[in-house]
Structure 1
Amino acid sequence: MINKNSPLPIYYQIEEQIKQQIESGVLKPGDMLKSEREYAEYYDVSRMTVRQAINNLVNQGYIYKKKGSGTYVQEKKIEQALNGLTSFTEDMRKRGMEPSSRLLKFELIPATAKIAKELNLKENTPVTEIKRIRYGDGVPIAIERNLLPANLVKGLNEEIINQSLYQYIEEELNLRIADALQVIEASTASKTEADLLEIQKGSPILLIERKTFLADGTVLELVKSAYRADRYKFMITMQR
């Protein structure tokens, strides 16, 4: 129970008790929490106090709200180390998860001035555009848009795209992927992004832009992705 005479705010005490239940395994990923009313009655406090504790736990990534359903314990975040260049498929399989995709767009487009500059091409050069929702164990993790020079990556079809694009490029086209420049920034989900990722509008997301290069310095692709911040996190080892 909480101590109403403690200098610690009541909402913080409730927050810490629920957090301890999650970390100890009493509340497991996917479990539904009690309602605000039930917590308020249990602790003999106002619903506003409970709501503050719940909102803090949502912001910290311990729980999430499902509209019209309730509040649930969040699944453990997928970790990706930023010390190597891997594909989404490789990341998922490395963690024992089953990767899958839903193809939203696959077509040839003329390179705009901006795309041409990024891919080091002439304007209007054919570019293959691929847009997919990426899943891990059936859960939507990211929206991914790939732009690749069409004359560099030939023979693509939906079957290949739904497997591992990098594997096809390296094993079938014999192109050696060398390195990439990646930028990550925080944002919030638009209505479209929220619908595709099955989260609420305004939920935190990670926007990632990556430019990948072949061994000879040729730009292979430009990738723009929106990852669910409640399901994915990045780690980096740093040395002084």
Structure 2
Amino acid sequence: MKKNKYKYIYEELAAQIKDGSFQPGELIPSEHDLSAHYETSRETIRKALTLLSQNGYIQKLRGKGSVVLDTNRASFPISGLVSFKELADQMSSDIWTHVVGFGLIQPEPYLQHQLQCSAKEEIWKVIRTRTFDGERVILDKDYLLKKHIPNLTEAICEQSIYAYIEQELGLIISFAKKEITVEPCTEEDKSLLDLNGFSHVVVVRNYVYLEDASLFQYTESRHRPDKFRFVDFARRHMK
């Protein structure tokens, strides 16, 4: 038992999180208190907490302790290409989209590189926050080439840009390349999201293409890490 005591502690704490003894957002007891409770060293407790963190049960917050994550977080598919509204329609949470920035811009070098366009191109810039049960937990930053999407309105952006593109413009959205990273929060994140002490966000960058392989959209979706998990189904191909 002593050799694997940290695993025993991990399993017991994980079970308490699953059965609701510890609620999402609640701090679990400190390393000192857990060490006294289990009559073991703080190093053993740290191993158990590290395992809890690695498996998505807790998030360690500097200077505060370990907060319980919501294990019933909304699932966002990695490989799928769906709009946020399509995902929201499948969820039971109270979800709202708020457009906080909208207009036409000419791209600076960073966006020229991301969209593979010239400085003379006009680009729709759409900044939206997604609110779940009263908390702003996603910041979506969309950039769309006007030559492909000639007309766009704030009202469309409050609903579904993809529905407008496919149903009104008759274009076919075909595929996307995605990059997922964890990055420090920016001042914009701090201003527009309810971060609840988190110092990092999960960033999903999408490069979205039409049926003719034209890149028409670059999206940067910034997620508070305790509310979402990204999922995929993978199958091993046997030789």
Q: How does 1:109-148 map to 2 (within 5 A)?
A: 109-148=105-144
Judging changes above 3 Å, is the alpha-carbon distance between structure 1 residues 117 and 15 closer, same or farther for their aligned structure 2 residues? closer
Deviation, structure 1 residue 89: 1.8
- Counterpart for residue 63 of structure 1: 58
Which shifted more, 60-69 or 127-136? 60-69
Are residues 1:16 and 2:11 paired? yes
- Provide the C-alpha distance between the structure 1 equivalents of 2:213 and 2:51, rounded to a whole number of angstroms: 46
CA-to-partner distance for each residue in 1:94-148, whole Å, 9 max, x for gaps? 2344432233322221123453454354322211111222234444443221111
Deviation at 1:198, TM superposition (A): 0.8
Alignment match, 2:231: 234
The residue that corresponds to 2:204 in the other structure is 208
- Contact 1:178 / 1:214 at 8 angstroms: preserved in 2? yes
Shift of the 31–183 alpha-carbon distance from structure 1 to 2, 3 Å rule, reads: closer
Match of 2:195 in 1: 198
- 1:60, distance to aligned residue in structure 2 (A): 3.2
Structure 2 residues without counterparts, runs of 5 or longer: none
Which residue in 2 is equivalent to 1:163? 159
Amino acid at match of 2:56: G
**CA 1:97–1:118: 2 relative to 1, 3 Å:** same
Cα distance in 1 for partners of 2:75, 2:209 equals 24
Work out which of the residue numbers 22, 32, 37 in structure 1 matches 2:26.
Answer: 32
Aligned residue in 1 for 2:87: 91
The answer to whether the Cα contact below 8 Å between 1:93 and 1:99 also exists between their aligned partners in 2 is: no
- The one-letter code sitting in structure 2 at the alignment partner of 1:235 is D
Q: Deviations over 1:31-80 (max 9, x none)?
A: 73553265455334566765664454344321246789875432123223
Contact 2:178 2:207 (C-alpha < 8 Å) held by counterparts: yes
| Matched-pair identity in % | 24
Q: Is the 8 A contact 1:213 1:219 kept in 2?
A: yes
* 8 Å contact from structure 1 (residues 27, 73) kept in 2: no
SS of match in other structure, 2:56: coil
Deviation at 1:226, TM superposition (A): 2.4
Which amino acid in structure 2 is aligned with residue 21 of structure 1? Q
Please provide the CA RMSD for this pair: 3.2
Q: What is the TM-score of this pair, normalised by structure 2?
A: 0.77
C-alpha separation between the residues in 1 aligned to 2:205 and 2:90? 22
Residue 150 in structure 1 maps to residue 140 in structure 2: no
Q: Is the counterpart of residue 182 in structure 1 residue 206 in structure 2?
A: no
Aligned amino acid, residue 221 of structure 1: Q
Partners of 1:83 and 1:152 lie apart in 2 by 24
Q: 1:115 to 1:176 in 2, by over 3 A?
A: same
- Rounded to whole Å, the distance in 1 between the matches of 2:65 and 2:189 is 18
1:115, 1:175 → 2: CA distance? 23
Specify the code of the residue in structure 1 equivalent to 2:80.
G
The residue identity in structure 1 corresponding to 2:232 is: M
| CA contact 2:141–2:219 (8 Å) conserved in 1 | yes
Q: Which runs of 5+ in 1 are unaligned?
A: none
From 34, 42, 49, the counterpart of 2:37 = 42
- Secondary structure in structure 2 of the residue aligned to 1:21: helix
AA partner of residue 200 (structure 1): G
Q: For the Cα contact (< 8 Å) 1:104–1:132, is it kept in 2?
A: yes
Secondary structure in 2 matching 1:182: strand
